[in-house]
Amino acid sequence: MDHKSPMLNDLFGIPWLDFNLSTSLMTIVSAVIVFFICFFATRNLQMKPKGFQNFMEWIVDFVRGIVSDTMDWKTGKVFLPLGLTLLVYIFISNMLGIMTVVVVDDYLWWKSPTSDAVVTLTLSATIVVLTHYYGVKVKGVKEYVKDYFRPVPFIFPFKIIEEFTNTMTLGLRLFGNIFAKEILLSLIIKLAFVATPVTFLAVIPMMAWQGFGLFIGAIQAFIFTMLTMVYMSHKVSSDH
Amino acid sequence: MQLLAGGLTIFASIGGLHLGDMLVVLVSFLLLLALLKKFAWGPLMNQMEKRENYIASEIETAEKNRLEAEKAVNEANERLKSTRQDAQQLIEDAKKAAQQQEQSIIQAAEAAAARIKKSAEEEIAREKEKAIEALQAQVATLSVQIATKVIEKEISAEDQEQLISEYIKEVGEER
């Protein structure tokens, strides 16, 4: 990718406060889009659902299925909003980069926020921190600490490493998929601008890859939500 | 050195570690989570739960109504059966009563007929006796008159009368 990122370094003169403006912008844009979609979809709720309410309830049921697959529903109930938000937010984020890519003066402004590793790793770190928080909250400090020494004490170092690998794999899986998708998209776009006759030919791989990108985006959103619930269940369920 | 430069290029192209971005992502995601929970998922889940409860209560009510209806039907059937039995009993009683009445009417009629017959017979016998008495008296006077006419010249009235009454007595005894 020869696109540059619009950087804003050292905001307010604080040395570590760097912004990739496009990432920040897209993060906020997708959050706003998700909020408005979900907000307007859940106005005017009816006892007999119709139209978009049906779709939203389908999503709720879907995530409820994920949650109750990984842990028992009584403890998993509180994670339903988290799972729903993750699924919708990541899905919308992935979609944003498929529809359009906006490049201004060689600076890449519009992309999927999830094609930036900072975003995905921040999300996965947030999730892992949340799993620890809920682990302590649901089982108590004693049980939470004891869990590091189960089933045998020497597993403790591996359990510590696992927390970091979980964070890395969860974030990098999403990032890798979406980043690869966007790279190939931009390559196809570049191909299209090589010569005029190729422009129309490039439409075919473009559409195919966009379709595949749609698939990847949906699958990755699902996998991220699923794994979140799996990690959560490791921490809050007592049978593990 | 070149390797390091290449690594740095990749590092830069995938974004690099920008704490500002991390903050933006963290804050926007947590804010989104809170807002959606309050404005979207909360109401939606409430609505779904409400519907679940509604359906459950409807099913319960339907089940209760069904049981009640079943009980009512059973009761009605039982009542119908007992009513039928009552009716049957009533008809049988009526038949029996009618038969008894018939019998008694016939008996009464027979008795009345017998009484009437008996009184008629008595009447007949009485009339007969009366007629015989009247005849006896008339026969006596007639025979006296006849005898008077026949034997006026030969015997006196007293002898004649004595003679006739003897005869009449004989006649009466013979009868």
Task: For residue range A149-184, list pLDDT tens digits in order.
Answer: 877 888 889 989 998 999 999 999 999 998 888 888
Q: Give residue B33's domain range.
A: 2-174
Find residues 10-39 of chain B whose CB sits inside 8 Å of chain A. 12-26, 28-33, 35-37, 39
**Cβ distance of A81 and B33 shorter than 8 Å:** yes
Q: What CA–CA distance (Å, rounded) separates A193 from A186?
A: 11
A116 has a chain B CB within 8 A of its CB: yes
Its pTM stands at 0.70
Q: What's the mean pLDDT in B128-143? A: 87
ipTM, two decimals? 0.81
- Is pLDDT larger for residue A138 or for residue A103? A138
Q: What's the mean pLDDT in A59-77? A: 87
Is residue B60 predicted with pLDDT exceeding 80?
A: yes
Stretch among A10-14, A134-138, B130-134 having the lowest mean pLDDT: A10-14
Q: What is the DSSP string of chain B?
A: -HHHHHHHHHHHHTT---HHHHHHHHHHHHHHHHHHIIIIIHHHHHHHHHHHHHHHHHHHHHHHHHHHHHHHHHHHHHHHHHHHHHHHHHHHHHHHHHHHHHHHHHHHHHHHHHHHHHHHHHHHHHHHHHHHHHHHHHHHHHHHHHHHHHHTTTS-HHHHHHHHHHHHHHHHHH-
Stretch among A80-84, A197-201, B15-19, B130-134 having the lowest mean pLDDT: B15-19
Is residue B83 predicted with pLDDT exceeding 60?
A: yes
Contacts of A18 in chain B (CB under 8 A): 16, 18-21
Query: What is the tally of structural domains in chain B?
Result: 1
Q: Which of A115, A106, A86 is nearest to A177 (CA)?
A: A115
Could you give the count of Cα atoms lying within 13 Å of B31 in the half-sphere of its Cβ? Answer: 13
Is residue A240 predicted with pLDDT exceeding 50?
A: no
* Mean pLDDT value across chain A: 84
pLDDT band for B174, please (50, 70, 90 cuts).
Answer: low
Which of A138-147, A158-167, A183-192, B133-142 tops mean pLDDT?
A158-167
**Cβ distance of B26 and A57 shorter than 8 Å:** no
Give the amino acid at B102: E
Q: What CA–CA distance (Å, rounded) separates A5 from A23?
A: 9
Q: Return the pLDDT at B42.
A: 87
Q: Return the pLDDT at A8.
A: 66
